[in-house]
Amino acid sequence: MTVFDVYVNGRKLCRAGVGQNGVLSAVVTWVRLAGPAARAARRMKHTGLETRLHVGGLAGDMHRNWPGRMLKVGDRVAIRVMSASVFDPPATEKPRDPKLGEREERKYYLRLKRKFERFEPRLSKARVRRGRRTKR
Protein backbone atom coordinates (compact mmCIF):
# COMPACT_ATOMS: atom_id res chain seq x y z
CA MET A 1 0.00 0.00 0.00
CA THR A 2 1.05 3.61 -0.44
CA VAL A 3 2.29 5.44 2.65
CA PHE A 4 3.83 8.85 3.32
CA ASP A 5 7.05 9.10 5.28
CA VAL A 6 6.94 12.67 6.61
CA TYR A 7 10.12 14.44 7.74
CA VAL A 8 10.65 17.85 9.34
CA ASN A 9 14.22 19.19 9.31
CA GLY A 10 15.55 15.74 8.49
CA ARG A 11 13.81 13.99 11.42
CA LYS A 12 11.06 11.53 10.71
CA LEU A 13 7.71 12.71 12.04
CA CYS A 14 5.56 9.74 11.01
CA ARG A 15 4.70 7.10 8.45
CA ALA A 16 1.05 7.69 7.53
CA GLY A 17 -1.20 5.28 5.70
CA VAL A 18 -4.85 4.32 5.32
CA GLY A 19 -4.69 0.84 3.80
CA GLN A 20 -5.53 -0.24 0.26
CA ASN A 21 -8.33 2.33 -0.29
CA GLY A 22 -8.89 5.82 1.06
CA VAL A 23 -7.48 9.32 1.10
CA LEU A 24 -4.11 10.35 2.48
CA SER A 25 -2.83 13.92 2.69
CA ALA A 26 0.06 15.95 4.06
CA VAL A 27 -0.55 19.69 3.90
CA VAL A 28 1.52 22.73 4.84
CA THR A 29 -0.65 25.79 5.47
CA TRP A 30 0.42 29.36 6.09
CA VAL A 31 -2.13 31.82 7.50
CA ARG A 32 -1.88 35.52 8.29
CA LEU A 33 -5.13 37.05 9.41
CA ALA A 34 -6.06 40.68 8.86
CA GLY A 35 -8.91 42.98 9.80
CA PRO A 36 -11.77 41.61 11.94
CA ALA A 37 -10.39 38.05 11.80
CA ALA A 38 -7.05 39.23 13.24
CA ARG A 39 -8.82 41.15 16.01
CA ALA A 40 -10.88 38.07 16.89
CA ALA A 41 -7.71 35.93 16.96
CA ARG A 42 -6.02 38.39 19.32
CA ARG A 43 -9.03 38.29 21.66
CA MET A 44 -8.64 34.49 21.76
CA LYS A 45 -4.91 34.92 22.48
CA HIS A 46 -3.82 33.67 19.02
CA THR A 47 -1.29 35.51 16.93
CA GLY A 48 -3.23 35.30 13.69
CA LEU A 49 -0.03 34.15 12.01
CA GLU A 50 0.92 30.50 11.74
CA THR A 51 2.49 27.90 9.51
CA ARG A 52 1.28 24.39 10.22
CA LEU A 53 1.86 20.85 8.96
CA HIS A 54 -1.16 18.54 8.95
CA VAL A 55 -1.02 14.82 8.12
CA GLY A 56 -4.34 13.03 7.84
CA GLY A 57 -6.49 10.63 5.94
CA LEU A 58 -9.81 8.93 5.53
CA ALA A 59 -10.28 5.16 5.42
CA GLY A 60 -13.86 3.97 5.07
CA ASP A 61 -15.78 6.19 7.46
CA MET A 62 -12.84 6.83 9.78
CA HIS A 63 -10.89 10.11 9.82
CA ARG A 64 -7.27 9.61 10.86
CA ASN A 65 -4.72 12.20 11.99
CA TRP A 66 -1.04 11.81 12.71
CA PRO A 67 0.97 14.25 14.79
CA GLY A 68 1.35 17.50 12.88
CA ARG A 69 3.24 20.49 14.09
CA MET A 70 3.67 24.20 13.89
CA LEU A 71 6.46 25.26 11.54
CA LYS A 72 8.74 28.26 11.54
CA VAL A 73 10.70 30.08 8.89
CA GLY A 74 13.58 27.89 7.72
CA ASP A 75 11.93 24.54 8.53
CA ARG A 76 12.20 21.90 5.81
CA VAL A 77 9.35 19.49 5.19
CA ALA A 78 9.91 16.38 3.10
CA ILE A 79 7.35 13.77 2.12
CA ARG A 80 8.55 10.51 0.71
CA VAL A 81 5.89 8.47 -1.07
CA MET A 82 6.59 4.83 -0.33
CA SER A 83 5.08 1.39 -0.61
CA ALA A 84 4.90 -0.47 2.71
CA SER A 85 2.77 -3.05 4.48
CA VAL A 86 2.60 -1.15 7.80
CA PHE A 87 2.28 2.45 8.96
CA ASP A 88 2.37 4.30 12.28
CA PRO A 89 -0.87 4.23 14.22
CA PRO A 90 -2.71 7.55 13.93
CA ALA A 91 -2.68 9.88 16.91
CA THR A 92 -6.46 10.24 16.59
CA GLU A 93 -9.23 8.41 14.82
CA LYS A 94 -12.73 9.78 14.60
CA PRO A 95 -15.68 8.20 12.80
CA ARG A 96 -17.32 10.34 10.12
CA ASP A 97 -20.68 11.60 11.35
CA PRO A 98 -23.22 11.66 8.49
CA LYS A 99 -25.69 13.76 10.52
CA LEU A 100 -23.03 16.35 11.27
CA GLY A 101 -22.11 16.40 7.58
CA GLU A 102 -25.75 17.00 6.65
CA ARG A 103 -26.06 19.82 9.20
CA GLU A 104 -22.92 21.47 7.85
CA GLU A 105 -24.15 21.14 4.26
CA ARG A 106 -27.51 22.70 5.22
CA LYS A 107 -25.77 25.56 7.02
CA TYR A 108 -23.60 26.19 3.95
CA TYR A 109 -26.63 26.01 1.64
CA LEU A 110 -28.58 28.53 3.74
CA ARG A 111 -25.61 30.87 3.84
CA LEU A 112 -25.26 30.77 0.05
CA LYS A 113 -29.01 31.13 -0.37
CA ARG A 114 -29.00 34.30 1.75
CA LYS A 115 -26.01 35.63 -0.14
CA PHE A 116 -27.35 35.12 -3.64
CA GLU A 117 -31.08 35.51 -3.21
CA ARG A 118 -31.17 38.71 -1.20
CA PHE A 119 -30.55 40.83 -4.32
CA GLU A 120 -33.36 39.35 -6.39
CA PRO A 121 -36.41 41.57 -6.76
CA ARG A 122 -39.40 40.59 -4.67
CA LEU A 123 -42.63 39.80 -6.49
CA SER A 124 -45.76 41.41 -5.18
CA LYS A 125 -48.45 39.02 -3.97
CA ALA A 126 -50.87 40.45 -6.54
CA ARG A 127 -48.49 39.70 -9.44
CA VAL A 128 -47.97 36.14 -8.20
CA ARG A 129 -51.75 35.57 -7.79
CA ARG A 130 -52.42 36.78 -11.32
CA GLY A 131 -49.78 34.33 -12.57
CA ARG A 132 -47.44 37.07 -13.71
CA ARG A 133 -44.06 36.03 -12.46
CA THR A 134 -42.16 38.51 -14.59
CA LYS A 135 -39.60 40.84 -13.14
CA ARG A 136 -40.44 44.52 -12.87
Average pLDDT over residues 24-47: 90
pLDDT of residue 128 exceeding 60, the answer is: no
pLDDT of residue 131 exceeding 70, the answer is: no
**Strand partners for 49:** 32
Residue 127: band (very low, low, confident or very high) from pLDDT cuts 50, 70, 90: low
Residue 132: band (very low, low, confident or very high) from pLDDT cuts 50, 70, 90: low
Q: Are residues 79 and 53 in the same domain?
A: yes
What pLDDT shows up at residue 117?
83
Q: What does the pLDDT look like over 13-34, one tens digit per residue?
A: 999 999 999 999 999 999 999 8
Among 97, 95, 105, CA closest to 58? 95
Q: Which residues, other chains included, contact 29 with Cβ-Cβ below 8 Å and sequence gap of 6+?
A: 51, 52, 54
pTM value? 0.69
Q: Are residues 61 and 75 in the same domain?
A: yes
Q: Are residues 10 and 52 in the same domain?
A: yes
Higher local confidence (pLDDT), 20 or 45: 20
Distance CA 60, CA 20 (A): 10
Q: Are residues 130 and 75 in the same domain?
A: no
Q: What is the mean pLDDT of the chain?
A: 88
**Residue 113 belongs to what domain range?**
97-136
Distance CA 76, CA 66 (A): 18
**Strand partners for 27:** 54
The total number of structural domains in the chain stands at 2
Distance CA 27, CA 22 (A): 16
Q: What does the pLDDT look like over 78-117, one tens digit per residue?
A: 999 999 999 999 999 999 888 888 999 999 999 998 888 8
Q: Are residues 50 and 78 in the same domain?
A: yes
